[in-house]
Structure formats: C-alpha cells, structure tokens
Amino acid sequence: MNSGAIGRKPSTEAYDAALLAVDELSAALKGVDLALPSLGVDLVSATSRFSTRPLIELGRCNLETALELAAVLRVAGAVKTGEIG
C-alpha cells in the first residue's frame, strides 16, 4: 500500500498565490481604514496532504470592525448592482 498517494502537498505556487491574496485583501481593507488582525494563510490547509489549495484565514475581529466591514460590503454591493453610481 502506498500511503503517499493519499494526497498531495500544496505547491509553492499555490502557497505564494495565497500569500498574494492575503496581501491584496489586507491592502483593500486598509484602503477603507479596516484591518482583520488574524488575516493570513491557514497553516493547516497549507501543509495538508489532502488539500492542494491553501485556505485564507479571515480570523476574528471586534464588533465595531464587523459592523464597519458589513457597511463597506453593502456599499460595494450597491455599486456593483448599479443601485449607486
């Protein structure tokens, strides 16, 4: 039995892409004066033999940040749907 065939390790490219996504999200949040302190690449999925695509850990935030993020997303949604220009 070949237990190494059960899963593959995420590629360096996939991990680098996840880091880039974290950087882009962090910059976008900073652009609206928000931050998610725990934002990062999920280390479990980044090192798992069963996942080839690392997950992004959005983490936890306080109530004020959550409400501000919800407000920003509502405005972005309204712009995307054309409700506001």
User: Over the stretch 15-62, which tens digit does the pLDDT of each residue have?
Assistant: 899 999 999 999 999 999 999 999 999 999 988 878 778 999 999 999
**Cβ-contact 58, 41 below 8 angstroms:** no
| Mean predicted confidence (pLDDT) in 10-17 | 83
Predicted TM-score (pTM) of the model is 0.78
Kindly state the tokens that stand for 5: 């065939």
The residues near 70 (Cβ < 8 Å, ≥ 6 apart) are none
The residues near 34 (Cβ < 8 Å, ≥ 6 apart) are 65, 68, 69, 72
**Cβ-contact 5, 48 below 8 angstroms:** no
| Mean predicted confidence (pLDDT) in 57-81 | 95
